Structure 1
Amino acid sequence: MPRLQEGKTKVELERDKKYETNWVWYHTILAIELLICNFLLLWIAIILTIEILK
């Protein structure tokens, strides 16, 4: 848990908390998209390998 910074108002702390929440969701979505891309690339590699071996 991050330390509360001295001198920040309640509004600034609330804004920072919202930013952190958005940051987490944004990077979660990016990670899911990356996982999907990896599965697609693996699937393509498997299909191409099967075609070459025939």
Structure 2
Amino acid sequence: MPKLSRVLSRLFPASVIPVSVLPNEAEARALAALLVAQGQRALIHRTAAGFAVEVLA
């Protein structure tokens, strides 16, 4: 079983780096898929301006 600190660091990362805010979910998912294909961990969430894509640091 993994250590608790390792589990918590996976669940609550130290920082995220904003990449872009896109007007629709399809574009945000496409960008996130591209980032994942490059080996990064991407995060998508809804904002007032559309959908934000961020990379987990």
- TM-score class normalised by the smaller sequence: 0.3 to 0.5
Tell me: higher relative CO, structure 1 or 2? Use CA pairs within 8 A at least 6 residues apart: 2
Structure number with larger C-alpha Rg: 1
TM-score by length of 2: 0.33
TM-score by length of 1: 0.34
When you count strand as a share of all residues, which structure comes out higher? 2
